[in-house]
Structure 1
Amino acid sequence: MLEETEEIGRRVRRARLRLGMPQADLAAALGKSQGWVSKMERGQIEIDRVGLLSTIAAELHVHPNDLIGRPYTSSPADNQWQVAAASILRELRRYDLTPVFEGTPRLSSGLWRDMTRLHRLRDAAAYVAILRVLPDLLREARALAEVSSGHEREEAYATYAVACKFAHTAAHALGHAELITMAAERAAWSARLSGDPVMPALADWMRIWDMWATADWNDSLSLSDKALGSIQDDYDHGDPLAIRMWGSLQLRAAVSAARAGRPSESEDRIVRARAAAERMTNHQGPPVYDRHSVTFSPGNVQIHAISVALECGDQTRALAVNRRTSPELVAALPNSRQGHHRMDLARAWLWHGNRDKALAELETAERIAPQLVRNHPMARSTLRSIVHAERSATREKLRRMSDRFHLDG
């Protein structure tokens, strides 16, 4: 596993040399020393923040996945999800052609029932299962749009957009860059045809995520504000779905601001998201179906507050926020969000110098959401750091003991 760090360093070096860029220039762009870059390229320093990884990749004009070797090499059985991903890409490429669908498509109410199932799979972080469902669902949604009109046609496009959102989420988790890009593009196209006033903001929410890969922090903030403005009136009037999306966009903006080195704005965005969560919690009336599948909640706001503290390099604040966070709020979150949270806590404890707690949090994260954690670059970075530190500590203990035993004499 430690060889993975060395290989990442070699990929960085090859990308840098391909551009004819001196180490000093890359160091200046990153705000690091030349010595830091040299150590990183030799595999002696972990790239332990997503924002840092994205910034390095952007300076070298490559995708972050190119540097970390993602999707990761695994067994043939573990790679079968790429068959489903290829089928989804095929459907998305032919989005404006007559769909190839035998029989009569179901009404939109039937398609939305499938969305509820996908929502549960997403909550369980069962990303491979999501990908296997999507090719047929995308095809049927397009077929329904082709043969229907009015509201039913709009609902067909709405289900197509949300199906693209599930493809986008799974592709991010598993590391399929092409599917990420195309799912976002098709979501934007179908959202405009859906008749749902919130759906275009969902497509922007997806694009913000994609901008992180190229370290376009300021653009991602601008897009966040554009999307927020598009649903501001509905938010002000208390529309429950608009409140969910508004809060989710504020959380996206909080992460963007943290990675842009703007901690005060990041904190302000968290405060706004918390206000939206309180409004949602105080909503009177029957339960609202989260048709956009954004999973916004007070607990989600809290774990984002911890995450942005880490993005700002402040593990002490991250752990302090965690101590103030109700365990019940975290327990109410879906496995996918709990897995992310535990990965963040593992990094926080590692940076705090407590490897035992870091490993315990990482083990918990893997137990809760194995597909997410095993494919997440920061989980792998954290585990590599723990392994390296343990080996270094063991070597030092052995050296001291051999000195005491005069083994060299």
Structure 2
Amino acid sequence: MPHELEEQEAIGLRIKRRRLELGMPQADLGAAVDKTQGWISKVEKGRIELDRASLINSIAAALHCHPNDLIDRPYGGTVREDQWQAAAASILRELRRYDLTPVFNGTPRSSTALWQDMKRLHRLRDSAANSAILRSLPDLLRETHALAEVSSGHEQEEAFGIYAVCCKFAHTAAHALGHPELIATSCERASWAARLSGDPIMPAIADWMRVWDMWATADWADSTALADKALRGIESYYEQGEPLAVRAWGSLQLRAAVSAARANNSPEAYHRIGLAKQASKRAEGRSGPPVDDRHSLTFSAGNVEIHGINVAVEMSDQTEALRRNRKAKFEELAALPNSRRGHHRMDLARAWFWDGNRAKALEELRTAEKLAPQLIRNHPIARATLRKIIYAERSSTREQLRGMSNRFHLDDQDLFL
């Protein structure tokens, strides 16, 4: 095989196969994603690496398929690493029977006790332990479903709230591991349970999940519109300074910022980052006892900072991304959970690579893997970045060796074919 790595070539072949199935010329696919026919040809031959989620999603949308169909997720691992798929199947089974009598032996625990389990899942989410999250969820969903069935009033509403948050954990883990059916089903059930929860903020959390799902089909305008719909629904609570509404408001603005960045709308993206920063200042300026983050949203000044860097990377502006990283407060970034810090380091790896510093890019990618190994090893952008580093190193070494070979007047130039 030439310089290209097998996985890189396979992505191109999947794109070509899908395009031919639709009878679509390369030029038409190129026009759909604002690229040339020659660019599409190079992608299909494995000569161009797709290292932007917006580009992968746009190609998938133009080909009327899910991005995972092109990048072949979930990626195969060892038998142990793939055990999460059995848990995912159990979760799907439970989510499909949401309106049937729950199968649960015994008496379900109270909502207070079940909320404690949510805190454990929150810690697992922060450490990007996605397989462990999925293994915990089938029994929790059954018990929560049973509590909603046998209770009434506030206790029943709390049970639906817990069910919605369980769906959110399933949704996050499924995104990280690459399971589109679980992504879609958990989002639908979260919306259903949120409406029954009695929690005025919970429907906005379900919409926050839906915005993420819209990225898969490159529906940037719709994802922004949905974020704005959710923001309107909690605006009065935000204005009152209700702590959970402030967190949700800021998180939705960050979702809108990424949507705008992927649509290459720089002014709107940075405007949304500014609004999220206002929300973070409002949250930090609050006095009183700590707030129970029942919605499990990672929102803070540090999270706003890394989203600002991500927005720059999404728009291929590595200079701005690295500038923002230099200005970021170390202590705010250090306070973030490993899952967010790992994703941030992955963004920096791309920025450094585009800036021509492969050694720094590899260092950032190594750090990302140490912080959140399961997340990074299963992330298509991290894998694409690593492939680009390897390919660049091969090319660089190859050219150096070719020059030395010429100077040494070696005859076996077939080595470089």
Q: Under a length normalisation based on structure 1, what TM-score does the superposition of the two structures give?
A: 0.99
Structure 2 residue identity aligned to 1:369? A
Q: Which residue of 2 aligns with 1:32?
A: 35
Unaligned 5+ residue runs, structure 1?
none
Looking at structure 1, the residues matched to 197 and 95 of structure 2 have their Cα atoms a distance apart, in angstroms, of 17
Q: Which residue of 1 aligns with 2:118?
A: 115
Structure 1 residue identity aligned to 2:236? D
Unaligned 5+ residue runs, structure 2?
413-417
Match of 2:284 among 273, 281, 284: 281
Query: 4+ residue runs of structure 1 moved beyond 3 angstroms?
Result: none
Match of 1:254 among 254, 257, 260: 257
Looking at structure 1, the residues matched to 28 and 411 of structure 2 have their Cα atoms a distance apart, in angstroms, of 44
SS in structure 1 opposite 2:333?
helix
Looking at structure 2, the residues matched to 313 and 157 of structure 1 have their Cα atoms a distance apart, in angstroms, of 41
Looking at structure 2, the residues matched to 400 and 154 of structure 1 have their Cα atoms a distance apart, in angstroms, of 72
Q: Which residue of 1 aligns with 2:219?
A: 216
Match of 1:318 among 313, 321, 326: 321
Looking at structure 2, the residues matched to 378 and 297 of structure 1 have their Cα atoms a distance apart, in angstroms, of 24
Q: Which residue of 1 aligns with 2:403?
A: 400
Q: Which residue of 1 aligns with 2:148?
A: 145
Matches within 5 A, 1:53-132: 53-132=56-135
- Tell me if 1:161 matches 2:164: yes
SS in structure 2 opposite 1:231?
helix
Q: Which residue of 2 aligns with 1:16?
A: 19
Q: Deviations over 1:95-117 (max 9, x none)?
A: 00010000000000000000000
SS in structure 1 opposite 2:128?
coil
Q: Which residue of 2 aligns with 1:388?
A: 391
Q: Which residue of 1 aligns with 2:248?
A: 245
Structure 2 residue identity aligned to 1:401? M
Looking at structure 2, the residues matched to 4 and 157 of structure 1 have their Cα atoms a distance apart, in angstroms, of 43
SS in structure 1 opposite 2:135?
helix
SS in structure 1 opposite 2:277?
helix
Cα root mean square deviation, aligned: 0.8
Q: Which residue of 2 aligns with 1:51?
A: 54
Structure 1 residue identity aligned to 2:198? G
The aligned length equals 409
Looking at structure 2, the residues matched to 20 and 261 of structure 1 have their Cα atoms a distance apart, in angstroms, of 29
- How far does residue 322 in structure 1 lie from its aligned partner after superposition? 0.3
Matches within 5 A, 1:255-274: 255-274=258-277
Looking at structure 2, the residues matched to 148 and 283 of structure 1 have their Cα atoms a distance apart, in angstroms, of 35
Looking at structure 2, the residues matched to 339 and 80 of structure 1 have their Cα atoms a distance apart, in angstroms, of 23
Q: Taking every aligned residue pair, what percent have the same amino acid on both sides? A: 68
Match of 2:339 among 331, 336, 340: 336
Looking at structure 2, the residues matched to 147 and 29 of structure 1 have their Cα atoms a distance apart, in angstroms, of 52
Q: Deviations over 1:231-275 (max 9, x none)?
A: 000000000000000000000000000111211000000000000
Structure 2 residue identity aligned to 1:169? T
SS in structure 1 opposite 2:295?
coil
- How far does residue 408 in structure 1 lie from its aligned partner after superposition? 2.4
Q: Deviations over 1:197-216 (max 9, x none)?
A: 00000000000000000000
Looking at structure 1, the residues matched to 29 and 93 of structure 2 have their Cα atoms a distance apart, in angstroms, of 38
